[in-house]
């Protein structure tokens, strides 16, 4: 199997993981909008099993990315499906993150998050990461 085919397969698997997460986060959001206090244990269980798989997938993609960037630009441009898959993965990951954050905010409003699990104050500052990078690059 060629490196590009292996990377495409891994990107497709990662895309499937992102789609799975998005579907669960959408269901969680619908559950949180209900008036009663539904059990959220299934979503907790999902996260517990999902995060190791997601991290493992990301590690594989990081290795592919390092190899991919060593290939000359002219050669990379021949693989347009790779760019499309990368873009789809990024878009779906961002949708899942935004939806998960909305669910987290809903949980916070309902007081269903223990104090030790409250998000950092910096999470509420939308440009915190960009500012951090800018400060680090100025050094």
Which of these ranges, 20-29, 42-51, 81-90, 110-119, has the smallest mean pLDDT? 110-119
pLDDT at 135: 80
Q: What does residue 119 show for φ and ψ, rounded to 5 degrees?
A: -70, 155
* Token digits of residue 63: 């290795």
> Using an 8 Å Cβ cutoff, are 29 and 103 in contact?
yes
Whole-model pTM: value is 0.73
- Model confidence band, residue 108 (pLDDT cutoffs 50, 70, 90): confident
Q: Enumerate the domain spans of the chain.
A: 3-138
> Using an 8 Å Cβ cutoff, are 76 and 82 in contact?
yes
- Model confidence band, residue 110 (pLDDT cutoffs 50, 70, 90): confident
Q: Convert 8-28 to b/e letters by CB count within 10 Å (16 or more is b).
A: bebbeebbebbeebbebbeeb
């Amino acid at each position: 199997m060629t490196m590009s085919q292996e990377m495409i397969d891994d990107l497709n698997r990662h895309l499937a993981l992102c789609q799975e997460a998005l579907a669960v986060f959408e269901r969680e959001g619908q559950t949180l909008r209900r008036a009663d206090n539904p059990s959220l244990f299934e979503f907790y269980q999902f996260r517990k099993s999902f995060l190791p798989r997601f991290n493992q997938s990301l590690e594989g993609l990081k290795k592919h990315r390092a190899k991919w960037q060593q290939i000359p630009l002219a050669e990379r441009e021949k693989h347009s499906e790779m760019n499309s898959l990368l873009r789809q993965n990024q878009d779906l990951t961002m949708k899942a993150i935004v939806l998960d954050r909305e669910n987290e905010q809903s949980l916070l409003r309902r007081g269903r998050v223990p104090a030790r699990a409250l998000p950092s104050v910096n999470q509420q500052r939308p440009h915190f990461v960009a500012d951090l990078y800018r400060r680090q690059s100025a050094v």
